[in-house]
Amino acid sequence: MGKELPRFEELFLPHLDAAYNLARWIVEKDQDAQDVVQEAYARAFKSFAGFRGVNPRAWLLTIVRNTAYNWIQKHLREDNLIPFDEKIHAVPASEPSSESSYEKRREQLQEALSRLPPDFREVLVLYEFEGWSYKELASALNVPMGTVMSRLSRARRRLHEAILEVRDLETEDEL
């Protein structure tokens, strides 16, 4: 462990923000994302001897992704979920008059992204926010490159629809 820890930290700590961002988009809650990242880093360190030094960021984020989905399976059993009912669960939007249009659009994007299924969210986050290539995505997701392109296209279309829905809901609330 003596020589491994400094090398591990050198390779993987620079990617901590990317790991958290990916986990946050998959599991959606801050504390859960922190737990996922902590577990993923522990798994990565445990498997560090098997790392061949090709792309530390992709290797780590693949572990984060797998850890997040395992976390979801472990913690979010279907029978424990309460169906979302907008009339009951929706939080009224009280928009301060000084809020900028940029902030409003950012919130709309976040809300729209949260409405997407996790597989669409992750491909968008990894490609658009983290800058992964189709090849890196295909490798990490263990799917053909054509599937990545197709999933990304569908995810973008669904995101566009979700943004329109969010805007429509906000317009209705203002009336």
User: By the 8 A CB rule, do 82 and 133 touch?
Assistant: no
Q: What are phi and psi of 98, to 5 degrees?
A: -90, 0
Count the Cβ atoms, other than its own, within 10 Å of residue 22: 28
CATH code of domain 96-175:
1.10.10.10
Judge if pTM exceeds 0.85.
Answer: no
Rounded Cα gap, residues 8 and 71, in angstroms: 24
Domains 1-81 and 96-175 equal at CATH topology level: no
The per-residue pLDDT for range 126-175, each reduced to its tens digit, is 888 888 888 888 888 888 888 888 999 999 999 989 888 888 887 776 66
Cβ-Cβ contacts under 8 Å for 44 (sequence gap 6 or more): 8, 12, 51, 59, 60, 63
User: Where do the domains of the chain lie?
Assistant: 1-81, 96-175
Please give the CATH number for the structural domain made up of 1-81.
1.10.1740.10
pLDDT at residue 92 is higher than 70: no
- 3-state DSSP call for residue 71? helix
Give the 3-state secondary structure of residue 100: coil
Span 47-71, pLDDT tens digits: 998 888 788 998 999 999 999 999 8
Tokens of 83: 């169906």
CB 58 within 8 A of CB 132: yes
